[in-house]
Structure formats: C-alpha cells, structure tokens
Amino acid sequence: MPRSTHHPLHNLWRTRSYMRPYAALYVWMILAGVVTTALGVALPLIVQRVVDGPVLHGDDRGLFLLGALALALGLVEALLIFIRRWVQANSALRMETSMRDDLYRHLQSLSVSFHDGWQSGQLLSRATTDLAIIRRFLSFGLIFLVLNTATAITVVALLFDLYWPLALVVAASAGPLFWFSQQFTRRYNAAARLMQDQQGDLATVAEESAGGIRLIKAFGRREHMAEKFTRYARDLHDTAVGKALMVSRTWAKFDAVPNVTLAVVLVGGALAVARDRMTVGELVAFVSLQLMLIWPIDALGYIIANAQEAMTAADRFYEVVDTDPAITDRPGAAVLERGDVGGEVRFDNVRFAYPDAPAEVLRGVDLVVRPGETLAIAGVTGAGKSTLVSLVPRLIDADHGRVLLDGRDVRDVTLESLRTVVAVAFEEPILFSMSVRENLTLGRPDATDAEIDEAIDVVQADFVRTLPWGLDTRVGEQGLSLSGGQRQRLALARAVLTRPKVLVLDDPLSALDVHTEALVERALTRVLTGTTAIIVVHRPSTVALADRVAFLSDGVIAGVGTHSELLATNPSYAAVLSAAADDAGELAGEGAR
C-alpha cells in the first residue's frame, strides 16, 4: 500500500478538524491543567517557607497556617485533575466515534473494486485499534505534552530563581534527553507501523477462518490454519516484544537522567548550604521542584511513543478516507424519473480493466438490450459477464465508452435515482443480520405485505412461511442460517420487489435444483413483462428465460441472437452451452423463445 509523502505529522495534524467542536473544552482543560501545575509548583515553595520560617524559628501558628494552605491546595489540585481527565476522556471518545462514523460512511461510498482489493482485517483494525490510538493521543498525549512542557519550563525558571548554578546543571540534562528521544523516535516509528499492519493481517486471518470454518473442517485444515494464525500472531508478538524492549530501554535512559542530575544537585546543594549560598529551605524546595520534573521526563517517552503511533494511525485512517470514491454523482447529474424510463440499455464501445489487472476484461463491447426484453449474457467462465452487467447499476464505471439507459449515459443521472430503477440479484446472495422482511424490503421499505407475498410466490420461497417467526425471523450471520438456494431466492425476491425498470440478474438461480429453477423461471417470465432484464447465464435451462442471448468472448460480443440461432451459427457458443448442458444433462428440449 503506498504511503503518504507528506510530512509525518501531516495527517495527525488534520485530525484537529475532529477537535474543533471541543476547542473551547480544550482551552478549559489546558487552563485547568495550568492551574493544577501552578498549585503543584506552589507546594515546594510553601515547603521552603515552612522550613526556613516556622520550623527553624519554632512558630507553631505559622506552621499550622502553612499546613492548612498546603492541604487546601492539594485538595483543589486533586479535584481539578479529576475534572480535567474526565472531560478529556469524554471529548476524546466523542471524537473517536465521529471519526469511526466518517470512516464507515466513506467505506460505504467506495467502489466495489476498492473493497475487493482490501483485506477486511485491515479495515477493521483501522476502525478499532487505530482510532483508539488517535483518541489516546488527542485526549492524554496532547494535553500531557502541553502541560508537561509548561511544568518543565515553569520549574526550570523557578530553579534558576532559587540557585542558578545548580539550575544550569538541571537545564543541561535536556541535552541527553533530546538525543535519546531522537533515537527513540526514529526506531519506534518503524516498529509502530509494522505492528499496526500486522494487527490488521492477524484480524484478516481470524476473520477468514471464522468465515471459512466449514471449508477448514471439510478439508482437515484446522492444524494448517492454526499454524498460520500462530505464525502471524508470533510475528506480531516479536514486533511487540522488540517495541517493548525499545520502550523499556528508553524509559531507563530517561529515568537515569533526572536521577543522575538529582545526585549532582544533592551534593552541590549541600555544599552551597554549607557555604551559605543557599538556605536549607531553598535546597528542600529546589529538590522538591526537581522531583517534579521526573514525571514529565518519564511521560516524554510515553508521549513520543503515543505520538508516533498516532501519526501512523492517522496515516492509516486518511489512507482510506482520502481514497476517491470514484463512483459518485457527476456535477449536474439529473434525477431519473421512474415514469420516464423506457428501459433500453445500450453498451457503446465499452472497455474496462480492473486496477492492477494485466489486461482489459471488456475490450469494446457494443450491445443493445431492447426495452422490456430479456437478454441472457453467456460466455466461458471469466469472460467478463459479471463485469459487464455491473456497469448498468454503476457498481463499476467503464474506462472508455458508455452505458446508456434510454440514450442517456448512466453517469449523467444520480446514483440514487439510477438504483431505484435498476435492481440487481447476485449469484452469491447476501442476507444481512435482520428479519426476512427487512432483508426483502431493502430496496422498497414501503412494500406492502401483499407485494411481499407476491414476490415470495414468484421466487418459490414458500419456506419463509414455515420459519419460526415467519417474515419476522432473523436471518444472516446473527440469525437463522439458510441454504444457498434459499438465500438466492430471497435475494431474487428482494430485486423483484423493487419493481425495477431494468433487472440485472447475475446467475441468480445457480443454487436451485432444476425443478425449482423451472418454477421460478415461469413465475419470473410473468413479472418480467415490461421489465428489461439482463441475465448472466451458465446453464442452458436459464437461457430459456431469454428472448435473445449475447455471447461474450475475448472481451467483445461475439454474437447476438436467439439461443437456437446462436447454436446454429456460433460454434464457440455451442461448445460453451453444450458443455454446460452435458454437465447438467439438460440441453435436450431446451430452446429460447
């Protein structure tokens, strides 16, 4: 997958658009953080006053007052920290949700070819792990960065005010810290990116195994799949261990710096007190303030790591979100009115190649499907039949040439209106995890029960009436499992129910037995009156539905005519259909109308 050539921070910076609604909250959070820091910094200064004043001079009342002040400041600080963190987490979770929404909506708008070319696990990991990483950065990483920098600057300024020679030692420790962080950033970036990709790969393997469990069991491949999973999991584990080691080493280095500095400060401070250059209270305050630097320095490692991961996660998020939907409404696209559609479909010198494919699938297809006609598309497997029919509802767009509906380029009408007049049923029918009724009325939510009943009759799907809750039975992945033929019939009923002007059927009866297929065909012939139907066929029995057949070969239409005409005139067609017929033992007696 090509990576962005922008500055590494480019995409992470773009996520600020999701922060915009919370800009005021962020200002408040930072203000609350600054107050918290100020309160935290005030404590060592109070300690200094306590030691140099009441402690050394036996002033009990002053000691009590300073103690009460320290307690109050401590409590206010704790309360502010609670409020800030809660607000931080809350707003960041909202940002994550809206990013996830955008990702999902954009995915829905992307072309079928995009989805075909992407591993589902990679998409899944972007929607889950990556967005959680970005959320952590936008909530904690970013605020930590601002507050810790503010704390460090304030503390160092106060240290200079207390005793500058020792403050210089503390300031100088920024040098090694900067160097370590540079090294860390470089190495961590590669590991973080690799790990995020590996998480996506692992998710894909897990999902494939779940989806293909029957196949795995049937072919006795459980061990093989388990080994594959372990291999991917081990790669991820190795990267994670390497990353953890890198983080631990860096953490140790980051920790060592303030500790070494502290030792120098203790010795130097004691000498300064002995030589009356510092009071005891000032030394105590100096050390207490310096201890306050340990957390920001420690957090630096976390922030760099988190920022690195967030940069990668943002790159991965925008990699999808920036992908051009390719198939969208053209400017000025017209709304197709159902009543105006006659139903002539014309392919005009259509050429098409799949991205990254070595050759064109369609190489100049010219074909006219007359209004109300039922036209079958035949051809050897892989000839491009599904590709050709996918152009009509614009699941893909032609690279060259045009697909015309009643003389109008399908790209000149809105997708929504096009898809209300063109319905599709595929060979591999998908039923969503919802009721049979909802699945059937996907394209016509307003269909009446009588219309649903009629569609069920057409596709011979009586079985739905015997399901436990009839039409309200939940099917799909989270519901009742149906057979391939049952699912095909429901998918066909779904298409029929939209009362389309153009019906595209991509071998929709392949899973039915010959007897049921014949019943469905007979009923379909009735409802197809007045509907232009383009049907991808593999079996001669399905050809019986068609008025004419177009034979697709070598990316062009090699012949159009009735089944008998093509059988008589086109030996290749005869060979393809006879082979299929021999397989099914069913050519005899079949003939197109």
Ligand X SMILES: Nc1ncnc2c1ncn2[C@@H]1O[C@H](COP(=O)(O)OP(=O)(O)OP(=O)(O)O)[C@@H](O)[C@H]1O
Q: Which residues contact ligand X by CB under 6 A?
A: 113, 116, 354, 357, 361, 379, 381-387
Smaller CB distance to ligand X: residue 28 or 354? 354
- Token pair recorded at residue 264: 């120098």
Burial level of 529, CB count in 10 A (0-12/13-18/19+)? exposed
160-178 as b/e: b if 16+ CB within 10 A: eebbeebbeebeebeeebe
- Token pair recorded at residue 543: 């050809």
Smaller CB distance to ligand X: residue 111 or 129? 111
Least separation in angstroms between residue 504's CB and ligand X is: 12
Q: What are phi and psi of 377, to 5 degrees?
A: -110, 120
Q: Tell me the three state secondary structure of residue 391.
A: coil
Closest CA to 204 of 102, 120, 132, 136: 120
> What is the CB neighbour count within 10 angstroms for residue 97?
13
H/E segment holding residue 89: helix 60-109
Smaller CB distance to ligand X: residue 46 or 380? 380
Least separation in angstroms between residue 570's CB and ligand X is: 17
Q: Rg of the Cα trace of the chain?
A: 35
Is residue 196 left, alpha or beta, with left meaning phi > 0 and alpha meaning psi from -120 to 50? alpha
Smaller CB distance to ligand X: residue 147 or 391? 391
Cβ neighbors of 118 (< 8 A, separation 6 or more) are none
Least separation in angstroms between residue 24's CB and ligand X is: 47
d(C-alpha 178, C-alpha 274), whole Å: 34
Smaller CB distance to ligand X: residue 75 or 575? 575
Least separation in angstroms between residue 536's CB and ligand X is: 6
d(C-alpha 172, C-alpha 177), whole Å: 9
- Token pair recorded at residue 135: 């959320």
Least separation in angstroms between residue 537's CB and ligand X is: 9
Least separation in angstroms between residue 30's CB and ligand X is: 49
Smaller CB distance to ligand X: residue 11 or 111? 111
Q: Residue length, the chain?
A: 593
120-150 as b/e: b if 16+ CB within 10 A: ebbbbbbbebbbbbbbbbbbbbbbbbebbeb
- Token pair recorded at residue 292: 């306050």
Closest CA to 488 of 571, 426, 444: 426
Cβ neighbors of 277 (< 8 A, separation 6 or more) are 163
362-369/408-409 β-pairing: unpaired
Smaller CB distance to ligand X: residue 360 or 451? 360
Least separation in angstroms between residue 180's CB and ligand X is: 47
Smaller CB distance to ligand X: residue 225 or 361? 361
Smaller CB distance to ligand X: residue 112 or 210? 112
Smaller CB distance to ligand X: residue 87 or 509? 509
- Token pair recorded at residue 551: 């034979």
